[in-house]
Amino acid sequence: MHFLRCVLAEWTLVRPRLSRTRFGVWLLFLGTALIWVGRRGADPIGVALQAGALGAVLGAAFAAGSSADRAALAIALAHPTTPFAVATGRWLAALIPAAGLTIGCSIAVGWETSAALAGLAAAAAVAGCALTAVLLGGNGAALVLFICMTIAGAVPPEALVGVAHPGAVRLTVASALELGPALWRYREIATGSAGAVLHAAAWAALGVVVASGLVRRRARRAP
């Protein structure tokens, strides 16, 4: 119970940013753009996946991306909590708004339960990855991840290496898409792929665990 209270305390600290910062505005803008695309021919699964992934990146950026947020992590550990609880709370702070965006966009473009579930899984996985990224590189890392998810996240690795001379860059990107939380894989959740579900769960868990280690390291380095 103490762990859950600590996680809830972290989420409560970040929650007001939806209305007091540009976070809510960016989510609204993103949702409007995705609904516009969805109503002009994009498939509901693609819309849900983009909503979950991109919403999670935005959530992670506003939960722990600024230098002030990362510096405050050491202060948070001065209270009776743990690095794992702090990381879990920040992960939830990135996930919950992205989940709301996914559900809202799915309803707006024509509800499909399988598509919404795929989007929620993508949000959980990308939130873990993005949280680790912003703890390491700040909002710059979030921007890079956002662009990658937008442009290449839904591209299968086979499309990049299936040419005569793919080159080192293509091979590197293809490897990242094969191993990382890529949207092309989570599209398979809509068809019942247990492997894709496990992949999303693994990335969510791995992201929280690595983020908790980064929180602990930052606290040790604090004066």
Q: Tens digits of per-residue pLDDT, 146-179?
A: 988 888 666 666 665 555 455 666 566 666 667 7
Q: Which residues contact 158 (CB under 8 A, 6 or more apart)?
A: 174
Statement: residue 223 has pLDDT above 60: no
Q: What angle do CA 165, 170, 172 make, to 5 degrees?
A: 130
How many angstroms separate the first and last alpha carbons of the chain? 31
- Mean pLDDT confidence for 129-141: 92
Range picked from 9-23, 63-77, 114-128, 142-156 for highest mean pLDDT: 114-128
Judge whether 92 and 14 are in contact, CB under 8 Å.
no
- Digit-coded pLDDT (tens) for 9-64: 777 777 777 778 888 899 999 999 999 999 988 899 999 999 999 999 999 998 88
Cα–Cα nearest to 91, from 133, 53, 124, 122? 124
This prediction has a pTM of: 0.89
- The span from the CA of 217 to the CA of 223, in Å, is 12
